[in-house]
Structure 1
């Protein structure tokens, strides 16, 4: 419309100029024709001869009267023409402003971020803008028909049933049903347009899409519940581990320390070297057993191979011990040797992820083969643990279990991504990617107790 306006104006000006030239030409031709006819027919002489008997009525003065009347008519006509020109210019200016206002309204309506529409009282769409077409999915499906009443359900009945005493009906959150069954949540305002009989004729609607905000809040709420449950589970596991450590120290280390103390107290009272050597040998055996028990406790709290040899050998030792406990499961490994030079925080997280995955496999999977893949790639550290077991199909191994939630929390603490894929009777695949650019910002701290 903006591009056609100058062209339309130029065309109108040209038509007006052509009309003026045509009128001048007609007037000139009329005067010339009258002059030539007067020369040929000599109407003035005939008129004088006719008017001579009527000289007492001053009929011969009529031509001057007609001339004066013509002059007056021309003056009135010119003044009227000026008034018409002013009126036409005023109308054109008004039409121009109305056209500009229409363009501004159309731009505001079509290009606004809120979804605007007009519907009848039955919810049938009369007109809508592009934002509404995108929100409702009409633009994707290429459709022009949409029924607001079907999308809103019972809410529409409350909006369109009776005239509202207030000018607007505001809803901070409305959940609509899209034809493609997609999630659609909006903040809405409705305005009822009444007829002369005070009945609802049309309903104007203004939608602001808050679907992403709604889903984000829902996800945050779910994560909050999971984190609270995970924190409770972590505290319970910590207490259980402390109890287990206390039992081991009391039952194993404590008893042998008591035996060592009693033997050491007995030795000074023995004069026979042979008998004393028996006590000393027994003290040495007790000390050796205590040393083995302490190493076992330390290894459970933190793998010694991780500090002594690096991540790869620690994983190999973990898998070796796990295979001894689960001889019916075959385990293959593809480990990148360059992963031995990873930061400590990343090494601990990877080790615990593989440890937890192997524990879940031995408890729930009933697998025959496990594959562990660890690779140092350009985008970061890539880890995959895959088994051929039953997959996730029971409440004992759901994606929201504490073990899997803990694995995900460890990876996300390193700004990584955690993906779990499973199908019934097709095993479970756990994939994690940890970017190196966030490794120094990691806030994960190993809990050496629980």
Structure 2
């Protein structure tokens, strides 16, 4: 046991007597705190605390709490031999002999400075992602509004004029005008579809997906099913990410899958949302097209940018399954 404890490098493990004086030292303690055993044994453990913590009586409070409850734990700043500070996870355990007398304390310290820095960086990254998502959705909303209020209205005016000219022109030109009118109508239909796709999700992830499915799937002859087991509504940026990935996956189903049915399943998992979009179409081997390829890339990039993962499977003739997970942890 002594060999095991003394050889551990990732944790500072040492003993204190009942007064808090260091009586043992391992190689992990030397690596983390900078003192050799000869330098530190016999010194009070308050030497590891910043001056303000010592002035506040924190070392003694920790020992009293451990003696009263059997164990005391905290995270906070500690001081190395060279005076630099590190963020530590500390556990103090009271050690009693067979008669119940306090023999001292076992102290385990781990350096969490790197982990804390990474956590702070991830928090900042999540904040930047949230702002990026909001900016993107505002821009999409603006484009959708411009398409609906300006471009579509202009196209409708063109269509009306073509129909008027068709009534006035000689019959030999009527076919050309009717073809142009039909092209304008098709352009208006596609622009309306674009404006609908650009519109951001509404109130709630499930309600937004249900609205999207009910609007577009029946028109393509597709039956659909939406199921969910969510513990709570995800944060806004997670809602947008999930909605946009599902939107792209469902567009691929409608345009390329040759499917009769599609299902969307959402489940709370590992502090995030796990999503599966599955169809009964031709599978990946039966699909092609550059547009679909870019759609797959966009889905993957959205999931990975959000800190999640994405995958796709589509055996020939067995349908296609898009599966992904994104974190859904509210910001502090």
Fold-level similarity (TM above 0.5): no
- Structure (1 or 2) with the larger CA radius of gyration: 1
| TM-score range relative to shorter protein | 0.3 to 0.5
Considering fraction of residues, name the structure with more strand. Answer: 2
Considering fraction of residues, name the structure with more helix. Answer: 1
User: Structure 1 length as normaliser, TM-score?
Assistant: 0.31
Q: Tell which has more relative contact order, 1 or 2 (C-alpha 8 A, sep 6+).
A: 2
User: Structure 2 length as normaliser, TM-score?
Assistant: 0.41
